[in-house]
Amino acid sequence: MKNKKVLLGMSGGVDSSVAALLLQEQGYEVIGCTLELFAGSSCCNTETYLDAKNVCNQIGIPHFIYDCKKEFERYVIDNFIEVYASCKTPNPCIECNKYMKFGLMWEKAQELGCDFMATGHYAKTEFSTEYQKWVLKKSNNEKKDQSYVLWSMPKELVEHMLFPLADFESKEEIRQMARKRNLKVANKPDSEDICFVPDGNYKKFLESHSEMKPQEGNIVNANGEVLGQHKGLYYYTIGQRKGLGIAHQTPLFVLGFNREKNEVIVGEEQELYTKEALVEEFNLLLVDEILEPMEVDVKTRYSTKAARAKIVQEKNYIRVIFEEPQRAITPGQSAVFYQGDVVLGGGKFTQNSQKGNIL
């Protein structure tokens, strides 16, 4: 029988603080844990460490800080730079969850004798009688649901993960609970940006942490006609309209890149839509492999609604065939597959399978 000892990831924010309270109320022996990832980031600074430690002291649980800066640089920062250098658009939260939380933090949990690990994510795990296994599901709070960023979780970890905030309908409910217990973080604002780029200027970050420097080149249409000049390929992303500096009779959008010629390819909005895409580096939680075509809902970005599609596994790729054309499928971003509210799995978009985004 499993013990009720749980390692909780704490960022110093209200979500993870209330998660600690809820786990305590449910009878778990809670240990607070803060990962030191990137000095000076929005989630790794003296204030966040103190906030987490003070909450733990207030509710009477131990708190540990683990220095994971080298690992974070290797798995998250280096990937962030590499993906942009490859003319793709990264999602560093996916890498952080995969390597830091589901990797290093789970190792710490096992070292401390914990059978469970918890975070303040808005998601849910439960045993499914339909699938006869533990599954990862959407939270009740559809607007705040974060199951999209959890697809990289190892399937054997699902039954060991706890998400205490799964059943909350609103953030205000969570803040009210924190106020009721006099937690100082009750009104602390949410952190929305990439934690290691708190000012939002990812271009400056890339240039100061890598060899990447602006290299001007041509902006062209699909026929190769030169329409303008760009500042550097990593200044642009698929679907971007603003900042092109081109006078044209119809609005133009970034469709893709030609790395060899250092060109940004643009076109009209209808050219952004596609019915097929390929997904690589996938992780399947519900099945071991996709043996025959499956009907699923696919989220192409965190903030978009899921789209109906058929998925087919082809060796190292999953082909996604949408019922309706989807706008601005972006290499490097995640595709997450759902069966109802259950996460089937996910992966990363590679080149568009009808017309390559990256040539």
Please state which architecture CATH assigns to domain 272-349.
Beta Barrel (2.40)
What CA–CA distance (Å, rounded) separates 71 from 104? 9
Q: What is the pLDDT of residues 234-251, one digit of tens each?
A: 999 999 999 898 988 999
| CATH of the domain spanning 5-180 | 3.40.50.620
Q: What is the pLDDT of residues 255-284, one digit of tens each?
A: 999 999 999 999 999 999 999 999 999 999
**Backbone torsions φ then ψ of 28, nearest 5 degrees:** -80, 150
- Enumerate the domain spans of the chain: 5-180, 214-267, 272-349
Active centre residues (catalytic): 96, 195
The H or E element that residue 342 is part of is strand 342-349
The pLDDT score that the predictor gives to residue 170 is: 85
Please state which architecture CATH assigns to domain 214-267.
Roll (2.30)
pLDDT(352) > 70: no
Judged by phi (left if over 0) then psi (alpha if -120 to 50, else beta), residue 113 lies in: left
The pLDDT score that the predictor gives to residue 200 is: 86
Q: What is the pLDDT of residues 134-170, one digit of tens each?
A: 999 999 888 889 999 999 999 999 999 999 999 898 8
| 220 secondary structure, DSSP code | E
Strands 294-299 and 334-339: antiparallel
Q: CB under 8 Å to 154, separation ≥6 — which residues? A: 102, 283
CA distances from 200 to 36, 91, 143, 217, 300 (A): 20, 14, 23, 24, 22
Tokens found for residue 78: 């280096």
Tokens found for residue 211: 């060899």
Q: How confident is the model at residue 313 (pLDDT cuts 50, 70, 90)?
A: very high
**Backbone torsions φ then ψ of 351, nearest 5 degrees:** -60, 150
pLDDT(184) > 50: yes
- Show the CA angle centred on residue 32, arms to residues 28 and 36, nearest 5°: 155
Q: How confident is the model at residue 194 (pLDDT cuts 50, 70, 90)?
A: confident
pLDDT(39) > 80: no
The pLDDT score that the predictor gives to residue 211 is: 93
Instruction: Name which residue leads in pLDDT, 40 or 305.
Output: 305
Where would I find the H helices in the chain?
14-25, 46-59, 69-72, 78-85, 92-95, 106-111, 171-180, 202-209
What CA–CA distance (Å, rounded) separates 57 from 68? 23
Q: How confident is the model at residue 351 (pLDDT cuts 50, 70, 90)?
A: low
Strands 273-284 and 317-327: antiparallel
pLDDT(72) > 90: yes
- Average confidence score pLDDT of the chain: 92
